[in-house]
Amino acid sequence: MGSILLLVILIVIAVWVVSAYNGLISLKNQTVNAWKQIDVQLKRRHDLIPNLVNTVKGSMEFEKDTLQAVVDARSKAMASGGGGVKETAAAEGMLSGALGKLFVVMERYPDLKSSQNVRDLQEELSSTENKIAFARQLYNDVATGYNTKQQQFPTNLVAGLAKAEIAELWEIEDKAEREVPAVDLSLKKPQG
Amino acid sequence: MTAGINLFEQQARNRRLTVAWLVLFILFFAWLGFGGDLALYLAAASRTEGQVAYRFPWIGLVVTTIAAITAWVSWRKGPQQVLWSTGARELATPQTLEEKQLVDVVEEMAIAAGLPKPKVYVIDDEDPNAFATGRDASTACIAVTTGLLAVVNREELQAVIAHEMGHVRNLDVRLMTLIASLVGVIVVLSNGMGRMLRGGGWLRGGKGKASGPLLAAAAVVFVLWLITLILAPFISRIMAMAVSRDREYLADATGAELTRNPGALASALEKIETHEAPTTHIKEGAAHLCIADPLGRDVNLKEGRLADLLATHPPMAMRITRLKGMAFQQLKAAGKQPTA
């Protein structure tokens, strides 16, 4: 009788270990995948920027500094690509800030704004900005879920077995980036 | 993360409801089919004592077969049919900046929800509205009217698309497609059988003298069967409406969770309400899927018993108030003084 009870308890524990382990692995993969989604969008942004710079260069002779800031930030961001979450976040944050400034400056050039090509590029870039932001939001949510799970009792007992490590969140550090001016690209005048 | 818990609860609830609806409909079809057989059997037994002429449940088998085939076909083709009935065209290669913006916004929301990008459709209709359909996230389609594109700005469009993505992620689209196909089958069957009953005298006739209790039982079963047959389309429609109404609040909340911007959805809903134009494209079959009731029925403006029974959407004012509440909470949590 005693041995049967022991066996049942052992089986229950084994089942629990397996399911907790699998749960952690699945969360870990989700986190990795969410990070890859950010990466895709970052690459897209890096590819788009030379286009934008070339298109606006001619009309914006006087804004060399702003343009140069974008180009520099882009190369720094690309160089930080292989690094950790912190470096990537910092470099990409700089790039977001530089781009935001460029968009604001571009508002002062009516002929630029009315060019179909520039408007298309601007929509594409600001959409990519949004996609980065949303991919980051998803990553942070998924990573938080993963972190919580591996720290909580009793899942933390199998965290070592699943080689679970705390995933770094993508924090927005400086205030300037948090307040990137919103670029309203809608064709309509805001109503109300 | 209360929103997250809500989401999984809602998904689980939708899965349970999907199963419940399937069971309910199977029982219903069984009654529709074999109930008729039972009535015939009892009637036959009442006439010929000892030797029963009616043994094989024809109606039941025919009904089951037809129901299964029709339900399967409309489950597979349902989303396309809905889109087709509204005259939606797919936006595969966006031309204008407006169309590009729409496709971009859908992509953004798909990323935020961590789902594959749904297909994007546009309906040439003045009335600002939008809906989502499909069987799951990979077959989902989101359709918006040109009227919507004309009145909302980018942020508000994003909020509306986020609401629709909410329907996709919460598996509302699956449940709604399933219910629509089952309701369709019931309507078809009950119409068809009603016609058969009127046309054929196959209930009458038969030899031998009818005897008391069995004939009475046959009559009772037959009357019950006839009543369900007549009421089935109405009841199933009312049930479908109740299911859709519940889901709007939650899709609003999910949408706000995706954009982290409940205020934008509130102002989008306000614009949709004030710019209401008579819709020419969205018919009753797609009405319950839309973000706002396209038919502008008064019953959707009220809360209460009757409205609870008939409305497909919760009152717009309630939805806007709830979203504004969320926006206020967000501002408070951010430590800012709420303005305006």
CB neighbours (10 Å) of residue B263?
Answer: 20
Closest to B241 in 3D by CA, of B274, B278, B287, B189: B287
User: Using the beta-carbon criterion (under 8 Å), do B112 and A142 form an inter-chain contact?
Assistant: no
Is the pLDDT confidence value at B335 over 70?
A: no
Residues 88-107 of A with CB under 8 A from B: none
* Beta-carbon pairs below 8 A across chains A and B: 61
Please check whether residue A148 lies inside any domain of the structure. yes
**CA B173/CA B141 separation, integer angstroms:** 9
Assign B30 a pLDDT band (cuts: 50, 70, 90). confident
pLDDT for B49-102, tens place per residue? 656 566 677 777 887 888 888 888 888 888 888 888 888 899 888 888 889 999
pLDDT of residue B153: 92
**CA B205/CA A16 separation, integer angstroms:** 67
Closest to A28 in 3D by CA, of A154, A151, A156, A150: A150
Most confident of A100-114, B159-173, B325-339: B159-173
pLDDT for B64-77, tens place per residue? 888 888 888 888 88
| Averaged pLDDT for residues B253-282 | 86
pLDDT of residue B52: 59
**Does A178 lie at the interface with B, CB-CB under 8 angstroms?**
no
Q: Give counts: helices (H), strands (E), chain A.
A: 7, 0
Instruction: Return the CATH number at A107.
Output: 1.20.1440.20
Please check whether residue A184 lies inside any domain of the structure. no
Helices assigned H by DSSP within chain B:
2-47, 58-85, 97-113, 146-151, 154-169, 172-199, 212-259, 262-274, 284-287, 305-310, 316-333
Whether pTM > 0.90 for this model: the answer is no
The residues facing B123 across adjacent strands are B145
The residue segments making up the domain with residue A34 are 2-178
Which comes out higher in pLDDT, residue B119 or B329? Answer: B119
User: Using the beta-carbon criterion (under 8 Å), do B4 and A37 form an inter-chain contact?
Assistant: no
Which comes out higher in pLDDT, residue B158 or B253? Answer: B158
Q: Which of the residues B126, B156, B164, B276 is marked catalytic?
A: B164
Most confident of B149-163, B199-213, B250-264, B281-295: B149-163
| Of A37, A187, A192, Cβ closest to residue B97 | A187
Give the pairing type, strands B130-133 and B141-145: antiparallel
Please check whether residue A192 lies inside any domain of the structure. no
Q: Quote the minimal CA–CA distance from B253 to chain A in Å.
A: 16
pLDDT of residue A2: 83
Assign B309 a pLDDT band (cuts: 50, 70, 90). low
Q: Look up residue B55 and give its two tokens.
A: 């043994």
B164 is catalytic: yes
Q: Determine contact, residues B103/B97, Cβ cutoff 8 Å.
A: no
Please check whether residue A160 lies inside any domain of the structure. yes
Q: Best interface-test mutation with A: which of B2, B104, B111 has the largest number of A CBs within 10 A?
A: B111
pLDDT of residue A8: 94
Reduced to 3 states (helix: H, G, I; strand: E, B; else coil), residue B202 is: coil
Closest to B178 in 3D by CA, of B76, B27, B66, B32: B76
Is the pLDDT confidence value at B3 over 50?
A: no
Please check whether residue A188 lies inside any domain of the structure. no
**CA B336/CA B149 separation, integer angstroms:** 32
pLDDT by 10-residue block (mean), chain A, 192 residues: 90 93 92 90 90 80 80 87 80 87 84 81 88 91 91 87 85 55 47 40
CA distances from A47 to A76, A124, B129 (A): 14, 11, 35
**CA A185/CA A187 separation, integer angstroms:** 6
**CA B266/CA B325 separation, integer angstroms:** 10
Which comes out higher in pLDDT, residue B133 or B219? Answer: B133
Please check whether residue A49 lies inside any domain of the structure. yes
Q: How many domains does chain A have?
A: 1
pLDDT of residue B7: 57
**Does A37 lie at the interface with B, CB-CB under 8 angstroms?**
yes
pLDDT of residue B4: 45
Chain A residues in contact with B120 (beta carbon < 8 A): none
Reduced to 3 states (helix: H, G, I; strand: E, B; else coil), residue B206 is: coil
Please check whether residue A190 lies inside any domain of the structure. no
pLDDT of residue B156: 94
Assign B340 a pLDDT band (cuts: 50, 70, 90). very low
pLDDT more than 90, % of chain B: 21
| Of A34, A123, A145, Cβ closest to residue B104 | A123
Q: For residue B278, is the peptide bond before it cis, meaning its omega torsion is within 30 degrees of 0?
A: no
Strand order in the sheet with B130-133: B89-90, B119-123, B141-145, B130-133
Q: Determine contact, residues B279/B215, Cβ cutoff 8 Å.
A: no
Please check whether residue A104 lies inside any domain of the structure. yes
pLDDT of residue B211: 60
